[in-house]
Structure 1
Amino acid sequence: MASPSPLKIVIVGGSLSALMQAITLHQQGHTIQILEQSPTPTPPSHMAGVSIGPDVLAFLSRYDRVSHIPLGIPATQLQTVDHAGQPQPFLRIQRTMTSWDALYFRLRANYDGLASDYIPNPPGALPTFPDESPSEAQARARYDYGQRVIDISEIPSTGKLAIVTESTTSNNNTKIITTHTADLVLGADGPRSIVRQLFLPPSPQSATTTTTTNNENHRKYAGYLAWRGIIHESQVPPTTLSLFSSNMTYNIRKHPTHGSHIIVYHIPGPNGSIAPGTRYLNLCWYQNVAEEDLPTLMTDIHGVRHHTTVPRGLVPARIWDSQRTLAKRVIDFPEPYMELLRMIDAPFLHLITDYPPMGKTWFLDVRIRRRCMRG
């Protein structure tokens, strides 16, 4: 349904939530510009597993115009595997298991018509207005990469906003500064949000923690992190593979200092293939870790300390070897999980953080107090 008053909307950040907002608003007739700071046209492959729940399925049923291409693999039950190697089902479910990449490229195909190995022939833009051509509709959907937002301000007497970006694609030290205008700005720029930095006051606790700085407003380490990896199913012995087929398989291990929760499920293989023999097993191991241990774990093979994610291939071998030893001797995961952990040579590591609820909101230096409206 077309909006009676179409707006120019800038969305800061170009990941999954940004794209879902962009698709929804574009089909209402608004002009959308996504500003993504990544210096490449598409982000590096995440190959992280994603469980598609009812809300996203409802979104896709309404907006996905490439639904004839399978998105993922059905999972029909939650189960665990005991120390005897036997599955123990405990809940019937209906979930679609996919990968971050498969969902991202599907959303791009529906938003700005990006062709990819996942969606080779994306549909043309869908006009919203009776007299709008597909090319005019396409012009209302922009995805501008290499644009880091550094400031947002009001343009006096216009009711519009100025969004200032610096380029991240320059080959030299000179940054190209660009000013964009919009009627509305949406922040979808992830855990180190520039929007949060601009519109929320610094956290008084930020100077006293090792994982939060004054530029990362109110973000706190949640007390655990995630080790993630994928294994091509052709490498997995058939007996082990059969345990994890068509299921989400959990195991929770209680421990005073290393409490853990591991989950395994299938995700699409390269280019979104869901044919048996071409898929991946996705493993995610959530582990409680003391904050003082993070500097060692979050430092990569080049000595670089990462804030949120140590990418695949950059986790030091000695760190991963130590983790697998811990998984066997201390946490005591059952053998099917250990078998998969031994097969993962290049995990990536993700720090889990939370944003505590805010009592006040700031907008253009004006504090807004939340009030409960009663009828």
Structure 2
Amino acid sequence: MGGLFTGIALKRSGHRPTIYERSAGALESRGGGIVAQRNIRRFLSDHDIVDPDEITTRSHERRFLTECGDVERAASETMVFTSWDALYRQLRDAFSDERYRTGTAVTGVTPETATVTIDDGSERSADVVVAAEGGRSATREQLRPDADPEFASYVAWRGVVDEAALPAACVEAFDGTFTFFQGADQLVLAYFIPGPDGETEPGSRRLNWVWYDTLDGRDRTAIFTDTSGSERTFSVSPGRLREPVRHRQRERAATLPPVFETLVGETPDLFVQAIYDLTVPSMVADRACLLGDGAFVARPHTAAGTAKAEGDATALADAFASHESVDEALAAWDQRRTEYGSTLVARGKRMGDVRLNLD
């Protein structure tokens, strides 16, 4: 996502970016829902990609439930949501195939000369290398080896369910709302997102949920060992959770309000992500830069991961347009976006610690 935001923004500014994507086929969603922040919607409109209303859903009330399912409190508030796959498809369609190299992995970066080494052993050079590789960025590990992710001592269980597969009472409980339940050391939320092909009509949408849960008294290794027997550091993707882990989490859903318990039980492929914090001292090294989650990972409570990637990309294009040299542009961009990323990570820590009552 960060690579496409950057490629589109730079191309519009008159540059000739090439995106190297290590995946050979179409990318699949592993995040489900996204809060479609205003800057994301503005990007789609300003670059004539799609009318944001065509790929977003809205809630008009923020609602908190009691454990028995009653409404504890509610407030009028409009939130806009989309799905990872709906947004990705629009961005991908907006970037030319000839400059989008799939099945091409970058194995190394030489920042002094803005050169990348490709997995076939060849090299490519440009004015700048932008590494938008997400939280597990290999380029960050090379350029900032001391910037290690810090586990926040809790996880996010997640899932997406087709609206048509849910009981009518469950659909009614969540329709038009951004719904939460906060219990002892846990927080769960849900909202509607577009359907698999971007549908936004009632009946064709999906319900996205996130359940923040501590690991007190539980074996993290067991939870993050997938069906192949491999231990994962950051996430176990949909369909890869072992049956005992999936069964245990569904049992734990009995501690949630009934509509959330139903939602978890009806989810065919729940998955889990470790919550962690990541910061870098600088996003730029010579002629290479780290963008999006490759530089800063803020906790999902901020609802800013995708918005941050867009902000980094747009700010980079603006910096090149407003400075005489590449080095000046990168220095100005680095100062501005590093400050923003650091502030966002700190805010995410405060939000997570308060909401889960963590010490």
Q: TM-score normalized by structure 1?
A: 0.71
* CA distance in 1: counterparts of 2:266 and 2:234, whole angstroms: 24
What amino acid does structure 1 have at the position aligned with 2:124? H
Bigger share in helix: 2
1:60 counterpart = 2:44:
yes
* CA distance in 2: counterparts of 1:163 and 1:319, whole angstroms: 41
Distance 1:292 1:185, change over 3 A: farther
Out of 177, 184, 199, the residue aligned to residue 273 of structure 1 is: 199
Equivalent in the alignment of 2:128: 184
* CA distance in 1: counterparts of 2:43 and 2:208, whole angstroms: 24
Out of 108, 114, 125, the residue aligned to residue 161 of structure 1 is: 114
Residue 362 of structure 1: how far off its partner (Å) = 5.4
Residue correspondence of structure 1 range 116-155 to structure 2 within 5 A: 142-153=99-110
Asked whether the equivalents of residues 77 and 89 of structure 1 are also in contact (C-alpha less than 8 Å), the reply is: no
* CA distance in 2: counterparts of 1:22 and 1:371, whole angstroms: 21
* CA distance in 2: counterparts of 1:263 and 1:154, whole angstroms: 42
1:306 counterpart = 2:291:
no
Asked whether the equivalents of residues 229 and 344 of structure 1 are also in contact (C-alpha less than 8 Å), the reply is: yes
Distance 1:186 1:271, change over 3 A: same
What amino acid does structure 2 have at the position aligned with 1:108? R
* CA distance in 1: counterparts of 2:265 and 2:173, whole angstroms: 17
Residue correspondence of structure 1 range 181-330 to structure 2 within 5 A: 181-200=125-144, 202-203=145-146, 217-254=147-184, 259-289=185-215, 293-328=219-254
Distance 1:193 1:93, change over 3 A: same
The answer to which of 74-83 and 350-359 deviates more is: 350-359
Asked whether the equivalents of residues 87 and 243 of structure 1 are also in contact (C-alpha less than 8 Å), the reply is: no
CA RMSD of aligned residues (A): 2.7
Equivalent in the alignment of 1:170: none
Equivalent in the alignment of 1:83: 67
What amino acid does structure 1 have at the position aligned with 2:122? T
Residue 360 of structure 1: how far off its partner (Å) = 10
Could you say what secondary structure the match of 2:80 adopts?
strand
* CA distance in 1: counterparts of 2:43 and 2:73, whole angstroms: 30
Residue 220 of structure 1: how far off its partner (Å) = 1.5
1:345 counterpart = 2:329:
no
* CA distance in 2: counterparts of 1:151 and 1:47, whole angstroms: 27
Could you say what secondary structure the match of 1:286 adopts?
strand
Structure with max Cα Rg: 1
Residues 63-82 of structure 1: CA deviation (Å, up to 9, x unaligned): 13332871111111211222
Residues 209-262 of structure 1: CA deviation (Å, up to 9, x unaligned): xxxxxxxx41121222111111211222222211100111111112xxxx1111
Residue 84 of structure 1: how far off its partner (Å) = 4.1
* CA distance in 2: counterparts of 1:371 and 1:225, whole angstroms: 31
Residue 61 of structure 1: how far off its partner (Å) = 2.4
The answer to which of 52-61 and 97-106 deviates more is: 52-61
The alignment covers a number of residue pairs equal to 292
* CA distance in 2: counterparts of 1:290 and 1:186, whole angstroms: 39
What amino acid does structure 1 have at the position aligned with 2:55? L
* CA distance in 2: counterparts of 1:242 and 1:360, whole angstroms: 45
Asked whether the equivalents of residues 199 and 363 of structure 1 are also in contact (C-alpha less than 8 Å), the reply is: no
Residue 59 of structure 1: how far off its partner (Å) = 1.7
* CA distance in 2: counterparts of 1:164 and 1:280, whole angstroms: 41
Q: TM-score normalized by structure 2?
A: 0.74
What amino acid does structure 2 have at the position aligned with 1:251? F
* CA distance in 1: counterparts of 2:227 and 2:196, whole angstroms: 27
Equivalent in the alignment of 2:302: none
Unaligned 5+ segments in structure 2 are 289-330, 337-359
Asked whether the equivalents of residues 44 and 52 of structure 2 are also in contact (C-alpha less than 8 Å), the reply is: no
Could you say what secondary structure the match of 1:221 adopts?
strand
* CA distance in 2: counterparts of 1:100 and 1:363, whole angstroms: 32
Unaligned 5+ segments in structure 1 are 1-15, 114-138, 167-175, 204-216
How much identity, in percent, do the aligned residues show? 26
Distance 1:283 1:246, change over 3 A: same
Residue 270 of structure 1: how far off its partner (Å) = 2.1
Equivalent in the alignment of 1:111: 95
Q: Which has the higher relative contact order, 1 or 2, with Cα contacts under 8 A spaced 6 or more apart?
A: 2
What amino acid does structure 2 have at the position aligned with 1:20? F
Could you say what secondary structure the match of 2:43 adopts?
helix
Equivalent in the alignment of 2:20: 35
Distance 1:251 1:109, change over 3 A: same
The answer to which of 96-105 and 85-94 deviates more is: 85-94
Residue 88 of structure 1: how far off its partner (Å) = 4.2
Residue 356 of structure 1: how far off its partner (Å) = 3.7
Residue 326 of structure 1: how far off its partner (Å) = 2.3
* CA distance in 2: counterparts of 1:19 and 1:309, whole angstroms: 23
